[in-house]
Amino acid sequence: MASHEIDYKIFGDDLQVVEVELDPHETVIAEAGMMNWMEEGIAWEARMGDGSQPNQGLLGTIFSAGKRLLTGESLFMTHFTNQGAAKSRVAFAAPYPGKIIPLDLKALGGDVICQKDAFLCAALGTSVDIAFSKRIGAGFFGGEGFILQRLRGDGKAFVHAGGTIVERELSGQTLRVDTGCIVGFTAGIDYDIQLAGGMKSVFFGGEGLFLATLRGTGKVWLQSLPFSRLADRIIARAPRHGGSSQDEGSVLGGLGRVLGGDR
């Protein structure tokens, strides 16, 4: 199924929103709960699957949608269709601070693999499927898991990531990356997991036991602030024991709590 041709505009810097412009009868699909606003004429409906194969039958639709449960996503995707007579717009935003990356799948060879929670929205006709890592090391030690998302099609798709986004072009080189910092890569890139280093580095380096190895020819997108890393820092600084929190960077923090009657 050929993807619908959609136009778009991205607003903001670190808390971005992508506004998709739809001609009459055009549709964009999105993860549940990502919509910010929509103009008059836009109708939305939750459906099983991405709609890329409209004639696959009931069992095929259920099987295709069921695979999404393995990625931790909702069984349903939301389809937004312009049912009016003029152009209309609908906007989507990521659930945490970061950037939105527009992908022209046709220009990228029609196949992009990304982390399982990176997909935001795409033109109808884009296949949103799962991809299993071929390497057992990546399966057991990948940190983000060996189940990735595969986006296929010839239209526009949008993924989101945390912090600053860096795009790298590999031509047979090897890039070693923290597993959580990978956003996505094109089909020409081989993905594997390897031990980070010697035993001393593993236990005292603070970088984790394993690193992802990306090797081949194609594009790679990296993020500086994975959501898991951000969540860990927030949890570490959360109030404890009756509501008091740690005072990061303050030598007098503990004394201040004593004088303030917290102890």
Q: Where are the domains of the chain?
A: 7-235
pLDDT at 71: 55
Residue identified by tokens 């389809």 is: 79
User: 7-235, what's its fold?
Assistant: Double-stranded beta-helix (3.60.160)
Q: How confident is the model at residue 144 (pLDDT cuts 50, 70, 90)?
A: very low
To 10 degrees, the CA torsion angle through 38, 35, 100, 74?
A: -150
Are 128 and 122 in contact, with CB atoms under 8 Å apart?
A: yes
pLDDT at 81: 97
Listed ranges 163-172, 243-252, 254-263; the one with the highest mean pLDDT: 163-172
The pLDDT tens digits for 71-116 are 555 678 899 999 999 999 999 998 888 899 999 999 999 999 998 8
Has residue 238 got a pLDDT over 70?
Answer: yes
| Percent share of the chain, pLDDT over 70 | 71
Q: Which of 37-46, 97-106, 247-256 has the lowest mean pLDDT?
A: 247-256
pLDDT at 66: 56
Q: What's the token pair of residue 212?
A: 């992802």
Q: What's the token pair of residue 84?
A: 């009016």
Rounded to an integer, what distance in angstroms lies between the CA atom of residue 28 and that of residue 156? Answer: 10
> What is the distance in angstroms between the CA of the first residue and the CA of the last residue of the chain?
66
For residue 207, the Cα-to-chain-centroid distance in whole angstroms is 22
Whether the model pTM is above 0.85? no
Mean pLDDT, residues 4-23 = 94
Selected residue with higher pLDDT from 123 and 238: 123
